[in-house]
Structure 1
Amino acid sequence: MVPLAQIHTRDAPGPWWPNGADLLQVLWCPVEHWDPPADQADGSPVVELRWRRTAELSGPPVAGPPEPSMHYEDEYLPEPCIFSVEHLTDFPYREELPPELRPALQQLVKDTHPQGKDVITRVAGWKLGGWPTWHLNHPHPYECETCGNRMTLLFTIASDDVTGIVVGRWGELRIFTCPADHTHPFTADLH
């Protein structure tokens, strides 16, 4: 497993943080897995989430991530970088809204961009929270296998030139979690 992202609650506060956790570490195996564990996407790296408390971490900070000990896919080994946090309002796919709210969102999209281009719903890129893009198919809700709640988008890893990551066919790996309990298994899909 290699580190992919480390996010502090001070930089990205939101409803996805479990009580007491102030650090989320996203790790993945930099190898495509065609036989991944349950609820992980075929043909993508296997993901692991670690919710931590920085006060409980001990020892000096690590200078850098260790090199993987086995063959890995170049496009799954990220270039070390620092992202700046940008807080955005991300709106859902139109069909995910109640019918009475859809015209207002459609008007907001038109008012936001002069040519009517949709730049405010399903914001693309690496993001914590928000709404999935669903640019390849219609919305597909995921349900928690433990409690049946509708899962919410926790994190999106998008293909981009900054990190050197290419997921699938220049797509996204999305991690959905249970809003009721962060210890319930998450679901990862490749889009």
Structure 2
Amino acid sequence: MEYDTYLPVPCVLHPEQVVEYPYEDFLPGDLEERIRIWEESSGYDYFSGLSIADGWKVGGYAAWNLTDPYPMLCGADMNLLVKVDGGESDGTESRRPLEDAVPESEFHEHPNRWQPTGITIGRGYALWIFTCPVSFDHPHAVSMR
């Protein structure tokens, strides 16, 4: 068995603050429908452009695009603590890390554009770790998707 993909490639951390919005199934009222209409008229994609950020992150929202939304509960809705991802950016302008600021036409030629850390989670998934907002004594929950 090859273990190289379980250890990160030495690299420099460039933290960036990113604004993201909830997964579309958790949007209130008719907002999901209004966003769908906006997407059709603008050509923009809420999920990849505004909703859940790619790559490694602390906090924020969890994506449920591979499964139906699954409640992460511990007497209360759990909060996302950290997401460990096999990749970083899909190349869309709104989510591209600042240190990867290359023209869109050259992005796909950029070596290690998707896996700068060299980590592979499962078969290309992400590891999501949740924590209880009520008590630190409650165990963490883990999901891989």
TM-score by length of 2: 0.69
**1:89 aligned to 19, 24, 28, which one?**
19
C-alpha separation in 2, matches of 1:101 and 1:157: 29
Matching of residue 150 in structure 1 with residue 104 in structure 2: no
- 1:174 maps to 2:102: no
CA root-mean-square deviation: 2.4
Cross-structure match for 1:115: 43
Q: Which amino acid in structure 2 is aligned with residue 94 of structure 1?
A: E
Structure 1, unpaired ranges of 5+? 1-70
Alignment of 1:38-187 (within 5 A): 73-103=3-33, 105-106=35-36, 110=39, 114-118=42-46, 119-144=49-74, 148-160=75-87, 161-187=115-141
1:117/1:98 CA distance change after superposition, 3 Å? closer
Counterpart secondary structure, 1:95: helix
- Given that 1:124 and 1:133 are in contact with CA atoms closer than 8 Å, whether structure 2 keeps it comes out as no
Q: Per the alignment, do residues 107 and 174 of structure 1 end up closer, same or farther by CA in structure 2, a change over 3 Å counting?
A: same
Distance in 2 (alpha carbons) for counterparts of 1:114 and 1:86 = 27
| Helix, strand or coil at the partner of 1:102 | helix
Larger strand fraction of residues? 1
Shift of 1:76: 1.0
Percent sequence identity over aligned pairs: 34
Q: Give the TM-score of the pair, scaled to structure 1.
A: 0.54
Shift of 1:129: 0.8
- CA–CA distance in structure 2, aligned partners of residues 105 and 178 of structure 1: 31
Greater RCO structure (CA 8 Å; 6+ sep): 2
The structure that has the greater radius of gyration is 1
- In the comparison of the two structures, how many residue pairs are matched? 116
SS where residue 32 of structure 2 aligns? helix
CA distance in structure 2 between the aligned counterparts of 1:105 and 1:183, rounded to whole angstroms: 39
Structure 2: distance between partners of 1:185 and 1:93: 24
Shift of 1:117: 2.0
